[in-house]
Chains A and B, each alone.
Chain A
Amino acid sequence: MPELSITKGMNSSQGVFVPLPGAPKLALPLGGVKVSAGFPSPAADYEEARLDINEYLVRNPVATFFFAVEGDSMQGAEIFDGDILVVDKSVRPRHGHIVVAFVDGERLVKRLYRRNGRVALIAENPSYPALDIREEQEMVVWGVVVGKFKRLGA
């Protein structure tokens, strides 16, 4: 079956469609369905775009960055060694968010605590103490962790 494509930017006045010369092509998701000479496919009208993992994990692509986790201090939040974090810099960090933060020249992943004048980075593993940020200490909350993923060696 020849590939079906539709031209963007048509002139639709009075129902007359005139394709603009050199306009970009927009592919329609029709590739997989064979035209049957006998009965038409009952699914033809229900065609949808296939699921895309980017769409699921990444809300704002332009402000999204990936970081690789090293260590086990966040396992209580289901963040494990070797996971890849999806960090969205456009999300405003709030109390309770899991964040990537720069403290004392290090990149850390922790839960942000910001209540009653106390600012701290909390681990999600009893063997790691909370890191209280002193007044003179500089901390940059770099971005908010909005997801994670990992490939399994199967």
Chain B
Amino acid sequence: MPVFALVDCNNFYASCEKLFNPALQNIPVVVLSNNDGCVVARSAEVKALGIPMGVPWFKIQEEAKRHGIVAFSSNYSLYADLSNRVVEVLSQFSPNVEVYSIDESFLEFSGFERIGYTSHGIEIRQRVADWLGLAVCVGIGATKTLAKLANHCAKKQLAGMDGVCDFTTMDMESLTHLFERIDVGEVWGVGRKISMRLAEMKIQTVRQLRDSDAESIRSQFSVVLERTVRELRGLSCLNLEEVAPARQQIMSSRSFGQLVYDRSDLEEAVAAYISRAAEKLRGQESLAGALQVYIRTNIFNPEAPQYQKSVTVPLPEATADSRTLTAWGLRVLRRIYRPGYGYHKAGIALMDIVPRANQQFSLLAPTGLVSARSESLMDAMDSINKRYGRGTLKLAAEGINNQWRMRRGHLSPRFTTAWDEIPQVRAR
């Protein structure tokens, strides 16, 4: 019988901010989305104050002042490093780990029966706390869906103890009793829309979904939800996906820190987004066959004149060369740019992605030598940037000042990824 565990970091972004900052130990902390817009992570203290996820930061200024809430901009460099460290620790506990998101991983526990799944979970929790100072919850079950639900129970202290909930040690009766008390919306893959439709069919709890007729769920919803029902019953239908599938589309877009009017600023932004996306494209050893560029004004400000445009161009030959992609991107941008508007957002997408090994050469475009030289130039660029930091070597089109960059007014230092930002420690 397969057994899975889902390990999830508690309040991950907020915990990362607290880790290096001794002044925040019992202080309510929130982390804000890009451009310091909305609350995307809350520490336990903030949750206790009843401040909801996703609320715009400016709307809770009053409350924040009253309770002394400290806000941070998203420090992705810090979160990514700590997330990688967590995964590295988890890999010591299972040969098969699926990194599901920045703060969640599935582990295969099959075969660990002799150690005891629960004690394995307790040990994971202890080691991540000792080695990284981060709290995690562990949910254990016979399927991925059950492991995820067990994790929810561990986090909400509905079952299990000390942040570990192991469904495999619970008998059918107590599981049924537990599932009666959990809203169906908490099940992995059951979103708000599906919950609402399920409610119309009088399916409101996890138990009701588990005991529903799988066939009719399939006909009224989808094979996916039918699989969920079977997984809730303990029949494993989903395996670990250890290698993320190569992406079919790579997007890069941001809202600007302030409205952008000049074409030259938009050009810099588009060039920078393309460079970033092209780097990812090369990282997965692929080529893009088409490129999309879009720009738009601030749709949340109906007073201002509105304009938005998106254009996709097929490329004469699939490529991963930042220079070629940027040249096309700028050509498209110049075609869609209209002066006189305040632009709020720009984005690009690389599409028709194919593995580099399957490259189709064009009949008309020059190939062979040119493509080999382009490849080695891009390799050199990527390794320099990897070694000396992102943006060390970039295309001139990306610009230098970057007035349009994200507003991140509450950014903490990159404590673990930049020598000049490591934490100071006082010897006084």
Which residues does A use to contact B, with CB under 8 Å?
A: 60, 62-63, 65-74, 79, 81, 84-85, 89-90, 92, 100, 102-110, 123, 128, 138, 140, 142
Is the Cβ of A70 less than 8 Å from the Cβ of B25? no
When distances are taken between beta carbons in the complex, the residues of chain B under 8 Å from A66 are: 416, 419, 422
Q: For chain B, which range describes its interface: under 10, 10 to 19, 20 to 34, or 35 or more residues?
A: 20 to 34
Mask, B406-428, CB within 8 Å of A = 1, is 00000000011001001111111
> A72 — nearest CB in chain B belongs to which residue?
B427
When distances are taken between beta carbons in the complex, the residues of chain A under 8 Å from B131 are: 60, 62-63, 89-90
Given A89-B131, A102-B25; A74-B422 close (CB under 8 Å): no
Is the Cβ of B425 less than 8 Å from the Cβ of A140? no
- Which B10-37 residues have a C-beta within 8 angstroms of A? 22-23, 25
Is the Cβ of B422 less than 8 Å from the Cβ of A70? no
With contacts defined as CB atoms under 8 Å apart, how many contacts are there between chain A and chain B in the complex?
79
Is the Cβ of A71 less than 8 Å from the Cβ of B130? no
> B92 — nearest CB in chain A belongs to which residue?
A62
> B23 — nearest CB in chain A belongs to which residue?
A105
Which residues does B use to contact A, with CB under 8 Å?
A: 22-23, 25, 85, 88-89, 130-133, 415-416, 419, 422-428
Residue from B88, B130, B416, B425 within 8 A of A107 (CB atoms): B425
Report the Cα distance A138→B427, complex, angstroms. Answer: 19
Given A68-B425, A81-B427; A62-B89 close (CB under 8 Å): yes
Is the Cβ of A68 less than 8 Å from the Cβ of B85? no
Given A62-B85, A102-B22, A138-B25; A68-B130 close (CB under 8 Å): no
Is the Cβ of B427 less than 8 Å from the Cβ of A65? no
Is the Cβ of A74 less than 8 Å from the Cβ of B132? no
Given A89-B130, A90-B130; A105-B425 close (CB under 8 Å): no
Report the Cα distance A19→B22, complex, angstroms. Answer: 52
Report the Cα distance A75→B22, complex, angstroms. Answer: 24
Given A62-B88, A102-B22, A107-B22; A67-B427 close (CB under 8 Å): no
Is the Cβ of B89 less than 8 Å from the Cβ of A69? no
**Can you report 22 residue pairs joining A to B where beta carbons are below 8 Å apart?**
A62-B89, A62-B132, A65-B415, A66-B419, A67-B422, A67-B423, A67-B424, A68-B423, A68-B424, A69-B427, A70-B425, A71-B427, A72-B427, A85-B425, A89-B131, A100-B425, A102-B25, A103-B22, A106-B22, A107-B424, A140-B22, A140-B25
When distances are taken between beta carbons in the complex, the residues of chain A under 8 Å from B416 are: 65-66
Is the Cβ of B422 less than 8 Å from the Cβ of A68? yes
> B26 — nearest CB in chain A belongs to which residue?
A138
> B24 — nearest CB in chain A belongs to which residue?
A105
When distances are taken between beta carbons in the complex, the residues of chain A under 8 Å from B22 are: 102-107, 140
Report the Cα distance A81→B423, complex, angstroms. Answer: 14
When distances are taken between beta carbons in the complex, the residues of chain B under 8 Å from A79 are: 427
Is the Cβ of A73 less than 8 Å from the Cβ of B428? yes
Is the Cβ of B422 less than 8 Å from the Cβ of A108? no
Is the Cβ of B130 less than 8 Å from the Cβ of A70? no
Most B Cβ at <10 Å: residue of A65, A74, A105, A123: A65
B128 to chain A, nearest CB (A): 10
Report the Cα distance A128→B428, complex, angstroms. Answer: 7
Is the Cβ of A69 less than 8 Å from the Cβ of B132? no
Most A Cβ at <10 Å: residue of B25, B89, B423, B428: B428
B136 to chain A, nearest CB (A): 15
Most A Cβ at <10 Å: residue of B23, B415, B419, B423: B423
> 10 tightest CB-CB pairs across the interface, nearest first?
A102-B22, A71-B427, A63-B131, A105-B23, A71-B428, A67-B425, A73-B427, A74-B427, A62-B88, A90-B131
Most A Cβ at <10 Å: residue of B85, B88, B424, B427: B427
A130 to chain B, nearest CB (A): 13
When distances are taken between beta carbons in the complex, the residues of chain A under 8 Å from B85 are: 62-63
When distances are taken between beta carbons in the complex, the residues of chain A under 8 Å from B130 are: 89-90, 92
Report the Cα distance A71→B88, complex, angstroms. Answer: 34
Report the Cα distance A74→B424, complex, angstroms. Answer: 14
